[in-house]
């Protein structure tokens, strides 16, 4: 089998072997329903609470503020829909941005159809949201501000601390989609004035289909999934014991080695960015050069289609993305690249490479060599490129 070079860690990650080992007994041995009374279920219940404590401690929260969900998308849906409902008497205006994940954007659009008013803030050419623009958008009926901590496509890290302070000053709820930063960058929900926070296990080497919503103590948000009394009657359904245990273990590892991992990824990322910008003409780096996720590198290559590049990379065993997994396969260019002001023809030539702490320099070198070769080959077949060269 050809060697696989996996450079799509923003889409999902490999489950840590330690997390798999930690999960296994909850499939085979301690399979009891954690809500049951008999002592056989006790071990499952204990393991869930241990994971909850680990996850809470990692972001400066209390264990009872952590609610397990089916992933980042569910957490985002819950935060927005329940906040809109809970604060309907106060107002119906929500502030978010044009570069959020679709789990936020499509939920906001749904809420608009149901009587909410939503302001979608612009970002600058690097994808940064301006705290001043957040402040200016606040009006008497504003009930919620939702700004992601870092963008999954272009990697830009947002000034969440400043935005949290503004929200607090105005007594407005603040939600952040921290799916890309949880376990990758330091987070403190109190210092950052975060009231609601979404995270997902599979973006930090945990299993798919499990996430969390942090809900600040005292917030009166309704249940999202109705049924049994699990998760303090706010999220019904038999606990995903093994998934939650895997989430806890992956987070423990991530919190413990966050600094070393981030440093390693940043060095490799900057090396990769340097090589691409130096060795390939007509390419731009998307996102902020320094306020950037440690493992993210996002580019637009002129005169080529990102999709063609991805297919040819795949033939060389390289997994990368044109933006987000959700927009791949669609012909519309990414809403994020359009929001940073790129024209359609440039946005179409996008490539996102997302590294992990397990990516090696050899893999990066192999990938860059292939990208160089493929970009050149595609450009030589492109009439646009030929025309452009004539005009230079
Ligand atoms: C992956 C991702 C999500 C969705 O999380 P799932 O667990 O896959 O539902 C939401 N927001 C961001 C920023 C993401 O990167």
Instruction: Summarize pLDDT for 92-108 with one digit per residue, the tens.
Output: 999 999 999 999 999 99
Query: How many Å apart are CA 17 and CA 65, to the nearest integer?
Result: 28
> Could you give the 3-state DSSP secondary structure of residue 385?
helix
C-alpha 64 to ligand 1 mean position (Å)? 23
Could you tell me if the CB of 73 is within 6 A of ligand 1?
Answer: yes
Spell out the per-residue pLDDT of the chain, length 392, in tens.
Answer: 578 999 999 999 999 999 999 999 999 999 999 999 999 999 999 999 999 999 999 999 999 999 999 999 999 999 999 999 999 999 999 999 999 999 999 999 999 999 999 999 999 999 999 999 999 999 999 999 999 999 999 999 999 999 999 999 999 999 999 999 999 999 999 999 999 999 999 999 999 999 999 999 999 898 999 999 999 999 999 999 999 999 999 999 999 999 999 999 999 999 999 999 999 999 999 999 999 999 999 999 999 999 999 999 999 999 999 875 444 555 688 999 999 999 999 999 999 999 999 999 999 999 999 999 999 999 999 888 888 888 76
Hey, which of 177, 246, 250 would you mutate to test ligand 1's pocket, going by the most ligand atoms within 8 Å of its Cβ? 177
C-alpha 8 to ligand 1 mean position (Å)? 13
Taking CA atoms only, the protein residue closest to ligand 1 atom 12 is: 179
C-alpha 150 to ligand 1 mean position (Å)? 11
Res 326: pLDDT: 46
Res 330: pLDDT: 54
Res 190: pLDDT: 98
Question: Can you tell me which atom of ligand 1 is nearest the CA of 12?
Answer: 1
Contacts of 105 by beta carbon, 8 Å cutoff, 6+ apart: 96, 120, 335
C-alpha 269 to ligand 1 mean position (Å)? 22
Task: Tell me the three-class secondary structure of the chain, residue by residue.
Answer: CCCCEECECCCCCCCCHHHHHHHCHHHHCCCCCCCCCCHHHHHHHHHHHHHHHHHHHCCCCCHHHEEEECCHHHHHHHHHHHHHHHCCCCCCEEEEECCCCHHHHHHHHHHHHCCCEEEEECCCCCCCCCHHHHHHHCCCCEEEEECCCECCCCCEECCHHHHHHHHHHCCCEEEEECCCCCCCCCCCCCCCCCCEEEEEHHHCCCCCCCEEEEECCCCCCCCCECCCCHHHHCECCCCCHHHHHHHHHHHHHHHHCHHHHHHHHHHHHHHHHHHHHHHCCCEEEECCCCCECCCEEEEEECCCCHHHHHHHHHCCCEECECCCCCCCCCCCCCHHHHHCCCCHHHHCCEEEEECCCCCCHHHHHHHHHHHHHHHHHHHHCCHHHHHHHHCC
Could you tell me if the CB of 177 is within 6 A of ligand 1?
Answer: yes
326 is catalytic: yes
Chain mean position to CA 15: 17
Res 392: pLDDT: 67
pLDDT of 322-333, one tens digit each?
A: 875 444 555 688
Query: How many Å apart are CA 368 and CA 300, to the nearest integer?
Result: 14
Tracing tokens 């959020």 back to the chain, one arrives at: 100
Hey, which of 102, 103, 185, 247 would you mutate to test ligand 1's pocket, going by the most ligand atoms within 8 Å of its Cβ? 103
Question: Can you tell me which atom of ligand 1 is nearest the CA of 76?
Answer: 10
């Amino acid at each position: 089998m050809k060697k696989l070079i996996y450079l799509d860690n923003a889409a999902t990650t490999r489950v840590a072997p330690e997390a798999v080992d930690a999960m296994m007994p909850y499939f085979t041995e301690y399979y009891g329903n954690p809500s049951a009374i008999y002592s056989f279920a006790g071990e499952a219940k204990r393991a869930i609470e241990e994971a909850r404590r680990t996850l809470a401690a990692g972001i400066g929260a209390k264990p009872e503020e952590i609610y397990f969900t089916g992933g980042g998308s569910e957490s985002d849906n819950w935060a927005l829909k329940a906040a809109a409902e809970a604060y309907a008497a106060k107002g119906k205006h929500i502030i978010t941005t044009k570069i959020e994940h679709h789990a936020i954007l499509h939920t906001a659009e749904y809420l608009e159809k149901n009587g909410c008013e939503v302001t979608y803030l612009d970002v600058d050419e690097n994808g940064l949201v301006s705290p001043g623009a957040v402040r200016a958008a606040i009006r008497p009926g504003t009930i919620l501000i939702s700004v992601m901590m870092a963008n999954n496509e272009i990697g830009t890290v947002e000034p969440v601390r400043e935005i949290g302070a503004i929200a607090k000053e105005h007594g407005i709820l603040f939600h952040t989609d921290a799916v890309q930063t949880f376990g990758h960058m330091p987070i403190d929900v109190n210092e950052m004035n975060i009231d609601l926070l979404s995270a997902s296990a599979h973006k930090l080497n945990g299993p798919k289909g499990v996430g969390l919503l942090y809900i600040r103590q005292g917030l009166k948000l309704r249940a999202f999934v109705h049924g049994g009394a699990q998760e303090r009657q706010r999220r019904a359904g038999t606990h995903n014991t093994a998934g939650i245990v895997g989430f806890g273990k992956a987070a423990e590892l991530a919190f413990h080695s966050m600094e070393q991992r981030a440093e390693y990824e940043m060095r490799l990322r900057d090396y990769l960015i340097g090589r691409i910008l130096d060795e390939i003409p007509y390419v731009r780096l998307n996102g902020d050069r320094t306020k950037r996720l440690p493992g993210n590198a996002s580019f637009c290559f002129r005169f080529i289609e990102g999709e063609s590049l991805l297919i040819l990379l795949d033939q060389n065993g390289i997994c990368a993305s044109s933006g987000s997994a959700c927009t791949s396969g669609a012909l519309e260019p990414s809403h994020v690249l359009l929001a940073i002001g790129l024209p359609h023809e440039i946005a179409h030539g996008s490539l996102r490479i997302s590294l992990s702490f397990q990516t090696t320099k050899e893999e990066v070198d192999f990938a860059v060599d292939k990208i160089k070769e493929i970009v050149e080959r595609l450009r030589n077949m492109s009439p646009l490129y030929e025309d452009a060269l004539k005009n230079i």
